[in-house]
Amino acid sequence: MIYRPEAYDPGMSGAQHLVDMANDIGNFFRAEPRREDAIAGIAKHIKSYWTRRMREKLLVQVEHGEDGLDPLPREALIFLEEHPAFKPKQPPGGDAG
């Protein structure tokens, strides 16, 4: 694991921390050759490993336009909002801690 001292700032708001986490997830899936696959991967990860409260908090941040969220995770979040019944094929849990 690479140590990034800027990755966690105790003064950072909870919503900003969620934005940073979503952007990190987006950076991982950016390597997908097809944009649709990247968006689907991000949506699957967020739906599987984030609580409803975390998703809602990030969505509120996005709706107010004060987010700093990159385009891929933004599209994944919009997808999840438009498809609330979306169920990832992989069950939640795994090694998410």
CA pair distance 60, 37, nearest whole angstrom = 25
Identify the residue with better confidence: 44 or 91.
44
Q: Total structural domains in the chain?
A: 1
In a domain? residue 87:
no
Measure the CA–CA gap between 78 and 92, rounded to whole angstroms.
20
23: in domain: yes
Domain with 31 in it: 14-82
- Measured distance CA(85)–CA(89) in Å, rounded: 12
Residue 68 forms part of a structural domain: yes
Angle between helices 14-29 and 52-63 (to 10 degrees): 100
1-42, pLDDT tens digit by residue?
A: 344 444 444 455 678 899 999 999 999 999 999 999 999 999
Q: State the pLDDT at residue 85.
A: 87
Q: What Rg, from alpha-carbon coordinates, does the chain have?
A: 13
